[in-house]
Structures are given as C-alpha cells and as structure tokens.
Amino acid sequence: MPTTKLTKLELQIMEALWTRGSCSVREILDTFPEAGRPAYTTVQTTVYRLERKKAVRISKRISNANIFEAVISRGQAHSRLVDELLGLFGGGTKPVMAHLIETGKLTLEDIRDAERTLRSLSNTSAKTKVSRRGE
C-alpha cells in the first residue's frame, strides 16, 4: 500500500484500472468524460507518479506503449482515505458518524451491517485469545 496520499486525479486513474483492468495511458485517458478531460501528458505524468508510489506497475509493453495495472486494491485505497479522514478528527469516529446520520447517508441497514461485522470481529478476536491461552 502506498505510504503517501493519493490525489483526486490519481484516484480517478486508479478507478479506471480497477474497473477496466490493465490499460495504456491512452485507454486511461479515454475513461474520463470529454468535458474537463485532462491532457494526455497530465495523465501520463500522473501514471508514472503512481508507479513511483508503487500503486501501479507496468504489466507489459506493446510496441512503444506501456500497459499499466493496479498494484493496490480499491479496498486498500479506500481504507487509506478513511484513515486519513479519521486522523483529521483525532482518530474519533463520532463526528463522522454524526455527519453521516444528519445527512441521511447512513441507513439502518448500514448500521445492521456494521453490527454484524463488529460481532464477527469480536467473535474472531475472542477465539484467537482462547487459542493463545491453550498454547
């Protein structure tokens, strides 16, 4: 996982790779809407910056075109963004949760899913502690 932040453009490029799979710079560029599409050289520079960050790699070369693939998953990138967001609030989740509730972006089904995940993690953690005591 990259140790540095991904910019909005970098995330858009990653989204193209996650959605379409391996792509050339031209193919990545074609995923942007025509209105407001960045220049080819901007996308190219950004892709190579992502390569230096170890978020993408060259998977193959066709003639003089490099084909890039994502090294990090969408989930890893999203986890990183959420961690950065929570860091802005000192690690606390309550302000974020309050905002999601107030704006109607957090549903009861979301809360039920979170409860199931917490129970599952709690059960896994308890089983791990029991097995460690038996060693």
* Domain range annotation of the chain: 1-91, 93-135
Alpha-carbon span 5 to 114, nearest angstrom: 26
Beta bridge partners of 15: none
For 31, other C-beta atoms within 10 Å of its C-beta total 16
70: pLDDT strictly greater than 90 = yes
Q: What is the pLDDT of residue 2?
A: 46
Report residue 67's pLDDT band, with 50, 70 and 90 as the boundaries: very high
Largest CA distance in the chain: 62
CATH number, domain 1-91: 1.10.10.10
The DSSP call for residue 57 is: E
In tens, the pLDDT along 73-129 reads 999 999 888 888 888 888 888 888 888 889 999 988 998 999 999 999 888 776 666
